Amino acid sequence: MNKSTYAGMMGCCVVICSLSLLACNMATVKPPEKDIVAVPEKFEVRVSDNLKTALAFILDNKGRLNDTVLLANDSLVNGLYEKENYQPLWCAQENWSALGDSLYTFIERSKEYGLFPSDYHFRALAGIRAKMATDSTARRDAALWSRADLMLTDAFFLTTRHLKLGHLEKDSMTLRNDSALNNDFYTQVFHLMRHTNNVTATFHDLEPKHAQYDSLKQGLKFFLDSIQTFRRYTYINYPNKDSAALHNALQRRLFEEDVLTSATELIDTAAWRQAIMGYQTAKGLKPTGKINENTVNSLNNTDWEKFKRIAINLDRYKMLPDTLPLTYIWVNLPSFYMQVMNMDTMVLESRVIVGQPKTRTPLLTSNVSNFIIYPQWTVPYSIIFKEMLPKIQKNVAYLNKENLMVVDKNDSIIDPYTIDWSKLSKKYFPYLLKQRQGDDNSLGVLKFNFANKYSVYLHDTNVRWMFSRSNRALSHGCVRVKEFLKLADFLVRDDTLKYRPDTLRAWIARQEKHIVSGFHRVPIYIRYFTCEGKSGKLRIYDDIYAEDKVLRERYFADKSIL
């Protein structure tokens, strides 16, 4: 290679590098903080120019414009402005448009929808609006207007998504089809909003069409009206392996409760115990002087945390289909109630007993296909090994006490006293345990079947006194129904020739076993809702399986009040 060729190549490299650097610098030019427009006629042109510059910078910086502006949907935002020729969408002639005002007001009141204003740039937008209301120079700042416009557009996209799908990730219980929520969907919603000039109505059309959802929103409004303002309190993570962190959080929280005089000073054991005991007594808890789950739950039960739980439950409705069937069975585990809905009317409500926290009733969707009068219970192996086998090995008479019989693989009854129970274990157990049908059967006198992979069902019980308890998380996983006979009557209501009003009761009185089928299958939804709206007010249930706690930590832990 001669010197002239080498020099030429190097020159080309320099030119290419220079052009690359120039292109990079052009793409990442940071927009000006201020751009005061002296001539009103040039206002929208300058806002448009600022929008282009800002979007180019944002796309190159992963959605971030500056320390206060981070767009969650930078690609969607850019796509919409590109289609609109980078014209401002929410302002005109140094003023907010009617649509921009309405969107801002919606964001300000978004808590009424179980949303968090802080998700939608509310603090920054409120600051800009306040500045423009008092500073005539700010009203002529095209850069400031462009930033406000971008944040409102980003807020529009995020609000649309949260009202339609919520915050929670899609899981096995999600029945809503969200595949249609592509870029065109968001654009259509925007154009509908602009065409109707009605932000509230457009957003309302995105929400679930369920009476229970509307009732919960009414309960939320009552809740918001009952509090003057949210106050931030220290949230206590419990249990916590970091004992020092737990102690510090507890001290801060008790200081906030005016139980302790300092959030940081060292406190001796006696004073600490006395403070906890005083709080427990004031809240109607057992005064142990020690931190336990009930005490922590009480400390965490602030208005702000209640609001998060309401938001979680509103989002759970967004995982259901747009409409539910005309007839269905609804089991809400935390409320310990079953409801039967028919043509938008609740025709039956019953107390239920659900699974203990260690043997949870699973969430599922299925269809009740038949029911059995005087069913026989085959004990699941999980119950055999965890509970029954140790007791049988101690005393074989346990089987007779629990009305249990032992059968082999051929369904032949085996004399339990001929078996060496000491040699049986989870690894080797060639039998089944079955409970004889009758009033002593754990399933009671009636069992409702629906296909599911968990081998659970609805049924009667031989311990009906448990329905009087307030906390009814007591079963091994199946759902015990107090009004089981009314449910059976409802299922066969359309076949009055075959099942007269007294037919089922006569069979039960005669202790006759029958498998009843042939009726229209009724969908059943077993779900987990810890908040409900009742008569315009809010009802909050215990988080029996700590599902709210898990979702709170995953999606809502860092949410701010504003």
Pairing of strands 377-378, 432-435: antiparallel
DSSP assignments along 410-422, one per residue: T--EE-GGGS-GG
Pairing of strands 514-516, 364-373: antiparallel
Helix (H, G, I), strand (E, B) or coil at 200: helix
Identify the residue whose tokens are 């030119």. Answer: 15
Reply yes or no on whether 91 is catalytic.
Answer: no
Quote the strand ranges of 374-516, DSSP E: 377-378, 404-407, 413-414, 432-435, 446-450, 458-459, 473-475, 479-481, 514-516
Do 415 and 431 touch, CB atoms closer than 8 A? no
Do 467 and 346 touch, CB atoms closer than 8 A? no
The secondary structure of residue 357, as a DSSP letter, is G
DSSP assignments along 501-538, one per residue: TTHHHHHHHTT--EEE--SPPEEEEEE--SEEEETTEE
Using CA atoms, how far apart are residues 424 and 422, in angstroms rounded to an integer? 6
Choose the catalytic residue: 121, 476, 478, 531: 478
Distances (CA, A) of 145 to 86, 95, 96, 123, 199: 13, 9, 9, 15, 20
Crossing angle of helices 142-164 and 98-108, in 10° steps, is: 60
The secondary structure of residue 306, as a DSSP letter, is H
The secondary structure of residue 427, as a DSSP letter, is S
Distances (CA, A) of 124 to 69, 117, 307, 543: 8, 11, 23, 35
Using CA atoms, how far apart are residues 425 and 203, in angstroms rounded to an integer? 59
Helix (H, G, I), strand (E, B) or coil at 428: coil
H helical segments located in 396-538: 397-401, 484-491, 503-509
Reply yes or no on whether 514 is catalytic.
Answer: no
Please list the residues that pair with 475 across neighbouring strands. Answer: 355
Burial of 310 (0-12, 13-18, 19+ CB in 10 A): buried
CA 381, 547, 220, 151: dihedral to nearest 10 degrees? -140
Token couple for 509: 């009185």
Choose the catalytic residue: 121, 167, 459, 476: 459
Please list the residues that pair with 373 across neighbouring strands. Answer: 446, 514
What residues contact 472, with CB distance under 8 A and at least 6 apart? 336, 351, 352, 353, 354, 466
Token couple for 474: 């007591």
Catalytic machinery residues: 459, 478
